Structure 1
Amino acid sequence: MYEKIKKTAIDTLKIELNEASRLLERISDDFVEACLALQQCKGKVIVTGIGKSGHIGKKIAATFASTGTPAFFIHPAEALHGDLGMVDSEDLVILISNSGEATEFKLMLPLFKRKKLKTIGFTGNRSSFLADQVDFIIDTGVENEACPLGLAPTSSAVNTLMMGDALAISVMHLRDFNSTDYAFSHPGGSLGARLIFKNMDLIEQHVQPPVCYPDETLSEVIFCLSRTGYGLAVICDDDDKVLGVFTDGDLRRTLEKSTDLTVKVGELMTRTPIVATADELAYSTLELMHSKDINAIPIVDSEERLMAVLTTHQIYKSGIN
């Protein structure tokens, strides 16, 4: 039984991989012109398909949307009952049908032609109604479905998905869509957080930074360290420019040598401390903190005035890791 199941799975994959390998010969002039039409589209990309083609179409629309091409999926039945109202004259439509004979498309395509919309057809039948009516044909045809009955869309569904990815990624390159652009489409993920959030975005405005001045005593600085819990106090001049820092580590080292709590912190602080600017990416600041083995860092403005102290915990909390 185990061997039979494994053989069936392997045979399925072999058929699908074999059919997919034939797609390399299908990157035609129509494919290139379809990419250029998508790049030049001033409106939205509307993807439509019914049954398994619809499920694949939803994924294709999502891939376009996340790689810089505004796109969404419309179900053909819903389209014929009002959703066509979402289609504007500057839009482009991708229609998916393996047979190319979907009844709904025979009603929809004349309407698209009347609106003078550019259309792209994904089909496995180059002699079909769909292939005859669209501006550009993407050939997803197969000789063998992986389904032993030859009925369930398997190899053809994989081909459609792959050609959809090839189309979307080609257009992505044409648009010079980069990782920062991608992050704005995925702000909820770790990559989005890394490329979007700056230090200024993570500053807790209601929290006063742990500021001390050079003429304050060690006793006063200890109180500041205890009150804030940042593990450091930032020593500033009267204009709030950072002069140095005094950390928990500095405190331990000081008390090992002396218990004089009246000494001025200006004599004890670490001068020229590590700081980060407000407009730097928080991810870059996190990497800096890791490299210097510190858990908190002063954030300064363009004139080197203290704005806040940022901790690794605050950065992690934003989703950056």
Structure 2
Amino acid sequence: MDVIDRIKGLISTVVSGAMPVPSIVDFGTDGTPQSTQADTIEPFKHYFRLDINQLFISKGRQFWVDFDPLVYAAVDYLQGQQRVVASTIVGPRAIDTGKIAKPHGFLLNDIRVAGPVPFNGGDVGVTIILYKIAQKNYAQTIMKLIETVAASQSSLAAVSKAANLGSILLDGVQGLLELRDNVPVMGQRFEINTATARGFLPICRALIKDGPSSLDILVSDNRLRDAREDFQASDFVLYSLSRVMQRDDHRSLPFFSLVTDACVAVTKGPEGNDAAKGILISLYNEMLKSEELTYQDRERLFAEYVGMVKQSKAAVATLGRNPVISDFRRGLDLIGTL
């Protein structure tokens, strides 16, 4: 059974359970339920990212006595010729314990699940499940372990590396569910057919355990609000699937070290200039093979990288020295003062 089938098995436990179906409220571009989303996410041109904007557990609820909340969030999509899953686990470890009003009250904001992910066409599936996990040593031990794994993938810029951890996180969640006290509270899985005339549009959605008496709610600055106040009438998860135009984390991608190498090489005279050109050719070849970039962003970044190399060359011509080597020597001088 592949990872996506296992995820569908998880959501089936929510659907078949005794818990009431949550209210599902979609918000448009202006943050109101009555409007629609704009800004189509186009294949091979844009990225998308999935975020948990808010996880809120209301205060004074007997339902959460002796339990902690945990959210499993995943997005599956087409990468190359196969479908992959990027996922995360969000629980108490993700927030300073001093900010949790136990046993009731939990607020967590702005957790990235996945992205930026290049959109290459094909269906996109999203899974969000809220669990309550018993505050027992064995359950807490497993939860801390899978939260640690989830946190480690947030530092991985490469989509493929982050996706490889999806199966491990799923193993952890299923291990927790084998302990009878741990149960799903609410959840949802849906698949977006991006080939329709409507296209692939961003999503801003709230899963609300006890639905609001009216739709007098809105999203402002990625926060769920009731009129002018924060919405606190029920447990809820607010999440968004948004469009990203270009990467802001490209310096952490595997090929960026070649940019640094070219900047150093170009400061070493004519031979270094030839070496820098060779490095840039290797760099562009790596960028062509990368599954982390859209076409437009690749061309933009490569032009930016070439500009950085030119700046390094100009700095040597202007200053008469290699700024990289000079900075390194200055650092050694500072260390020598210890």
TM-score band w.r.t. shorter chain = under 0.3
TM-score (norm 2): 0.24
Ranked by relative contact order (alpha carbons within 8 Å, sequence separation 6 or more), the top structure is: 2
Bigger Rg, structure 1 or 2: 1
Normalized per residue, the structure richer in helix is: 1
